[in-house]
Amino acid sequence: MYNMAYYLADGIYPSYPTFVKSIRLPQSEPDNLFSKYQEGCRKDIEHAFGVLQARFKIICKPTRLWDIADLALIMRSCIMLHNMIVEDERDTYSQHWTNYDQSEASGSGTPESFSIEVLPAFANHVRARSVMRDSNVHHELQEDLVKHIWVKFGMFRD
């Protein structure tokens, strides 16, 4: 059992338990299938975030000190607003994005000030992150996910 969230990542990220990377040179069918699923899902997620970031400036801002519940609410709100816009502009959607000016989403371009004071919440965040740097747990998670993907989808191979 794993008790923390993890992110699909590419090879540039360290081998931490919170990052699930593809297998660089898969040697077996299960490893190959896992890499295919991991890379496909990661690509879809990156494209979705790119669309949302182009439309909503708030998603482009640093969020480390924000409450998780607030972040979840912001993301769901942006996704719902995006879907409403797409539905409303269905006929002109593809034309809109080919002519989309990213300055629309970036606002006035005036830099906002921010505090450099170290907050207790951030200090707790740093402590929690140090626990998540065990590369052995990363490899165990990856192996477990390879097995899971193979059991679930291996019989449907072409």
User: pLDDT (tens digit, 9 = 90+) per residue, 134-149?
Assistant: 788 888 889 999 999 9
Q: Look at residue 31 in the predicted model and tell me its pLDDT.
A: 94
pTM value surpassing 0.85: no
110 secondary structure, DSSP code:
P
Predicted confidence (pLDDT) per residue in 85-131, tens digit: 888 777 564 555 555 555 555 555 555 565 666 677 777 777 666 66
For the chain, what are the domain ranges?
A: 7-101+133-156
Alpha helices by DSSP H, the chain = 29-55, 68-88, 93-98, 103-106, 120-131, 135-153
**Cβ proximity of 17 and 138 under 8 Å:** yes
Q: Would you say residue 39 has pLDDT above 90?
A: yes
Give the helix/strand (H/E) hosting 19: strand 19-21
In this structure, what is the dihedral angle of CA atoms 73, 77, 78, 80, given to the nearest 10 degrees?
Answer: 140
With a CB cutoff of 8 Å and minimum separation 6, the contacts of 15 are 21, 135, 138, 139
Residue 32 near residue 26, CB atoms below 8 Å: yes
Distance CA 55, CA 59 (A): 9
End-to-end CA distance of the chain: give it in Å, rounded.
31
Measured CA distances, 56 to 52, 136, 141 (Å)? 6, 38, 33
